[in-house]
Structure 1
């Protein structure tokens, strides 16, 4: 069975070790399972039988937006689909140029992290960015729910995501971590919105099998993708865990491959609907 991992992270070789070391200080019990490089991810993918990984990048300051774009252009290929990142304080004209250049390279996805980038998901100050994302036919991947590195931060709460999804029904949203990390008792707030998709990273490590299946059942099975948040979990182990669940072969195939393929194919063809 082909597999797509919708949530991974890598860094340029020259900073990967330092980046993982810094992030590990705020990751609780989670430790990296690769060295954080492209080659490390590709090796992990081979072990796990993964044919394509979506690589999420986060610009924690405006000066990182263009270097991240260049990194995305460099790593994009048959097995890697990278997401650019926009910082909320990036000048609007520069955002337009970055999105234009990303589109020319066949990249149609943006990753935003409300904690690391210090914004509330439904803040009106973000609306011009969301409107540009809609206009240019991009999709946006948000970190949603709690973040272990930012205790007490509510920027990505599911109530905020629901407000945004309702305000911009044309905005295609991927909410990470099966709706919102450690806010799984609240996912019903977002499942009614047809523009909201999700992926399952960092969930099977946090919930019992019964809890995971219960939360999974709340979502439209066509809008859920497999994800690992590699390097923070082991890709092969997460594939094995999903395969061991009492789900139909058809649903496993949708989660592991078909749903993500259908989603990405829309943007690979330059379409947003």
Structure 2
């Protein structure tokens, strides 16, 4: 069985080394496990038995929106599924244009990070952007919960995410880090929101396997994807962590592959 990683990051080759150096200054115990390039990710995927990875990009400035789109079109393949990004300071008309072009290019999702882009996930000014994503039939991935680089920052708080999902049921949302990083006590509150999905990155490394197993029982399994946040954890080690859990083989297959395949197929039509 080959696997799907729903949460990875890479950078254009000319900036990858510097980007990782800067990010590593605030990444705590998590150090890069690849060189941050597409080639490095593909090599990691080969070692881990991963068939395809979703590549999350973040526009930290309004001027990065279109360069990120161009990067996405360059790397898009049967192995790499990139997500575009916009910045809250981009105009709504610009964002609509981006989303249309991305959809036409076979890109099916958008990634936003409240801390790096300086917005509150449930603030009113963001909802026209969210609706534009939903109207175009794309999904939105948010960084959710706390972030090791922004101690105590609550701009992406899980309960704020819940308000977004409730207010816009037509928007399919992928939250990261099993609902929200270090806010796992709220995961069960998200479980009945049928438009909300999540992925596993940087969770078992923090909770340990016993608490992770409990979390798997608190959210519908079919809406959980395997993710690593590569390069910040090693893909092979994270695959092995899931394979080592004392759960039935069909559940492992669902987590590591089948759930993501079904979701991606729905957005590829």
TM-score above 0.5, yes or no: yes
Matched position secondary structure for 2:116: coil
User: What is the CA deviation profile of residues 75-130 of structure 1, one whole-angstrom value per residue up to 9, with x for unaligned ones?
Assistant: 00010000000111101121111111111110010000011011111111101101
Alignment pair present for 1:68 and 2:68: yes
Corresponding residue of 1:117:
117
Q: Is the 8 A contact 2:32 2:231 kept in 1?
A: yes
CA distance in structure 2 between the aligned counterparts of 1:208 and 1:148, rounded to whole angstroms? 18
Q: Is the 8 A contact 1:158 1:189 kept in 2?
A: no
Post-superposition shift, 1:189? 2.0
Post-superposition shift, 1:191? 1.3
TM-score of the aligned structures, taking structure 2 as reference length: 0.99
Alignment pair present for 1:231 and 2:237: no
Corresponding residue of 1:107:
107
Matched position secondary structure for 2:173: strand
Corresponding residue of 2:153:
153
Alignment pair present for 1:199 and 2:215: no
Alignment pair present for 1:95 and 2:95: yes
CA distance in structure 2 between the aligned counterparts of 1:173 and 1:40, rounded to whole angstroms? 28
CA distance in structure 2 between the aligned counterparts of 1:207 and 1:127, rounded to whole angstroms? 33
Q: Is the 8 A contact 1:102 1:108 kept in 2?
A: yes
CA distance in structure 2 between the aligned counterparts of 1:164 and 1:17, rounded to whole angstroms? 35
Q: Is the 8 A contact 2:190 2:219 kept in 1?
A: no
Corresponding residue of 2:128:
128
Corresponding residue of 2:248:
248
Alignment pair present for 1:5 and 2:5: yes
CA distance in structure 2 between the aligned counterparts of 1:188 and 1:157, rounded to whole angstroms? 14
Q: Is the 8 A contact 1:133 1:139 kept in 2?
A: yes
Alignment pair present for 1:140 and 2:140: yes
Runs of 4+ aligned residues of structure 1 deviating over 2 Å after TM superposition are none
Alignment pair present for 1:17 and 2:17: yes
User: What is the CA deviation profile of residues 17-38 of structure 1, one whole-angstrom value per residue up to 9, with x for unaligned ones?
Assistant: 0000000001011000000000
Flag structure 2 segments of 5+ consecutive residues without an equivalent.
none
Matched position secondary structure for 1:47: helix
TM-score of the aligned structures, taking structure 1 as reference length: 0.97
User: What is the CA deviation profile of residues 106-156 of structure 1, one whole-angstrom value per residue up to 9, with x for unaligned ones?
Assistant: 001000001101111111110110110111011000000000111121111
Flag structure 1 segments of 5+ consecutive residues without an equivalent.
none
CA distance in structure 2 between the aligned counterparts of 1:34 and 1:87, rounded to whole angstroms? 27
CA distance in structure 1 between the aligned counterparts of 2:12 and 2:105, rounded to whole angstroms? 19
RMSD: 0.6
